[in-house]
Amino acid sequence: MPDMAKSDIASPSDRRADIHLVRAYDARAGAETFGARLLVDRLWPRGIAKADLPMDAWLKEIAPSGSLRKWFAHDPAKWETFSERYRAELATTPMIIEEALEWCRKGPVTLLYGARDHHHNHALVLRDVLQENLHSRCAGT
């Protein structure tokens, strides 16, 4: 059985396949995206003209606060604490989460982010939070 932690590719029956992650710079370069493309960064990605980024919505309010983003500074040693703090921020903004969930309920979604680190960025946490919300609502909790 393949290790799913190493890849976002999953079978069509796996709910994980509904929310994909693609770096904004890769999307601009033509990387494959799936369904609605949502930019989830508070700041526009440097060096990309708005006309050059294929996206359906910019959900800047769903990104970590400026102070949390600056504190984290993409330091892998701070990853666990960053994840907890970002989840806490998201828990205080149910309307913003709901906006993203509306897109997810319509079909596949690609979260676009600017971070260079594919293993330590807020889009990973956001994807997990969205999936947890989708699963809890499907389960009736």
- pLDDT (tens digit, 9 = 90+) per residue, 4-56? 333 343 333 344 449 999 999 999 999 999 999 999 999 999 999 999 999 99
User: What CA–CA distance (Å, rounded) separates 25 from 121?
Assistant: 15
What are the C-alpha distances in Å from 5 to residues 10, 15, 122, 124? 10, 14, 16, 11
pLDDT of residue 135: 83
pLDDT in tens, 48-103: 999 999 999 999 999 999 999 999 999 999 999 999 999 999 999 999 999 999 99
What SS3 class is residue 38? strand
Given a contact cutoff of 8 angstroms between Cβ atoms, the answer to whether 105 and 135 are in contact is no
Q: How many CB atoms lie within 10 A of CB 84?
A: 11
User: What CA–CA distance (Å, rounded) separates 4 from 2?
Assistant: 6
